[in-house]
Amino acid sequence: MSKYKTNKASAFKDNGKGEEREGRHCVHFKCGAVSTIKDVLHQRPNWMEVKDNEEWDFNWCDVGWLRENFDHIYMGEHVRINHFPNHYELTRKNLMVKNLKRYQKNLEKDFGRPEASECDFFPCTFALPSEYHLFVEEFKRNPGSTWIMKPAAKSQGKGIFLFRKLKDVTDWKKDSFHTEEQKDAAHVESYVAQRYIENPYLLNGRKFDLRVYVLVTSYIPLKAWLYRDGFARFSNTRFFLGTINDKHMHLTNVSVQKTAPDYNPEKDCKWQLQQLRRYLTAKHGREVVETLFKEIDNIFVRSLQSVHKVIINDKHCFELYGYDILLDQNLKPWLIEVNASPSLAPSSKEDYEMKYRLLEDTLNVVDMEGRLTGKEKRVGGFDLMWNNGPVYREDANLQTFSSSCFTANTHLGCVNDREKQLSMLLKPFPFQKKM
Ligand SMILES: Nc1ncnc2c1ncn2[C@@H]1O[C@H](COP(=O)(O)OP(=O)(O)O)[C@@H](O)[C@H]1O
Ligand SMILES: [Mg+2]
């Protein structure tokens, strides 16, 4: 029986690619966002936006739309949508940690502690209210340390505060969990209490974290791509651990920084990852920085593996994740959170151009036009990082047969000569004139 409801994905004579109109493939898209993605979709040769109730081949929706509609739509073979139905297993802060803890425990059971220690990249975290007592025990074991409280499902720094005294939490808990309306457990908002990284790596005395983009095109088998570009987001205020109630100092979200009294819209609070990698290499040497970036790759792969069997592997879905990674003074990378809807709103011209290229390459990998063979290890700025196992660089395979010397096929913060690579890889669109 057909599952057709109001929002239909196109189910036309499924030729595997898309509708043929006037001898050309035409991709009908729906887009729930107003930012950079809309521009990218509109400039794509022979892609057309549909009206609300029309059928679509490609949908860039928000997670709210997905929640309301995913179970009610029928999707033809070729149709693609930009979220997995239970993406929240990785992108909600409490569930991410639950999945990572389970994955780590299984690794320890099957392979021992050294292997499990490969997952020691997330700060000690408890889900509230369910793990409140465990949290209190841990809190008391570490007197004087700083913690951060975060709503599990909010973003942009909303509802976050730092604390060092249990009294701050008990007062807040009374307000948050025990008001009249919220006595019903179903209405209690979930939070995480997490150890605050007290020694962030500072640049000009300022804290920053990294935003990195990972594209997953399948969970079974796991196929994940890493984008070369990304950025570091800086705080505007010099870091000082003595002051814990200044969110402009401690939260690096751009949306938080924009509200600082001395925020200067002319001065973007971002560095491109290339710039950061160059800076770190000049300061600490190539080897140290290569180790750091290898550890960051490990975070992507392990976190995806932790939900590999949990995420519903619907073949219509892909997901462009925005990872938040924080470096500490020992150049150890920490996983802070994974976003299902990383901000695509530009904060400057350079930021717009970077996001534009990222989204173009996302569409190139998703390949509605059928221009790829499926065997590519690189598409524009995306390098294939995991394909049911680690992916190695072509030249590395020739160097040696010893697997320990194989080099991962990732280039985070390296040169992104995507235009050159795309011009060699992709046939022009059928109706595009050759340059
Ligand atoms: N455990 C932590 N230690 C240090 N800083 C943190 C920690 N958790 C969050 N932060 C800071 O707070 C910001 C917002 O936290 P995050 O978990 O990303 O929530 P949001 O969903 O609101 O962006 C981060 O970008 C980072 O600057
Ligand atoms: Mg964040």
Distance 259 CA to ligand 1 centre (A): 16
Residue nearest atom 20 in ligand 1 by C-alpha distance = 155
Question: What residues does ligand 1 touch, defined as CB less than 6 Å away?
Answer: 123, 148, 150, 154-158, 160, 194, 196-197, 209, 251-253, 324, 326, 336-337
* 140-169 pLDDT, tens digit each: 999 999 999 999 999 999 999 999 999 998
| 101: DSSP letter | H
Ligand 1, pocket-test mutation among 146, 160, 206, 257, most atoms within 8 A of CB: 160
- Give 262's pLDDT tier (boundaries 50, 70, 90): confident
Q: Which of 124, 126, 150 to mutate to test the pocket of ligand 1 (most atoms within 8 A of CB)?
A: 150
Which residue, 36, 90, 47, 395, is CA-closest to 224? 90
Model pTM score: 0.92
- Nearest ligand 1 atom to the CA of 253 is 25
Cα dihedral sign, 61-67-72-76: positive
Residue 102: predicted pLDDT? 98
Both tokens of residue 140? 């008391």
Confidence of residue 34 (pLDDT cuts 50, 70, 90): confident
Read off the pLDDT of residues 284-336 as tens digits, 9 standing for 90 and up: 999 999 999 999 999 999 999 999 999 999 999 999 999 999 999 999 999 99
Residues with CB under 5 A from ligand 2 (ion): 324, 337
Identify the pLDDT of residue 187: 64
pLDDT exceeds 80 at position 9: no
Q: What is the mean pLDDT of the chain?
A: 89
Residue 11 near residue 76, CB atoms below 8 Å: yes
What is the structure's pLDDT at 50?
95
Q: What is the pLDDT of residue 403?
A: 47
Residue 303: left if φ>0, alpha if ψ -120 to 50, beta else—which one?
A: alpha
Predicted local confidence at residue 171, as pLDDT: 83
Q: How far apart are CA 350 and CA 36, in angstroms?
A: 12
Please, are residues 197 and 241 in contact by the beta-carbon 8 Å criterion? no
- φ, ψ at 115 (rounded to 5°): -65, -45
How far, in Å, from the CA of 6 to the mean position of ligand 1?
A: 39
The ligand placed nearest to the CA atom of residue 256 is 1
The first and second tokens of residue 402, run together, are: 């010893």
Give per-residue pLDDT as tens, 362-379: 999 999 999 999 999 999
pLDDT of residue 395: 65
The residue among 236 and 395 whose pLDDT is bigger is: 236
Mutate to test the pocket of ligand 1, among 253, 256, 323 (most ligand atoms within 8 A of CB): 253
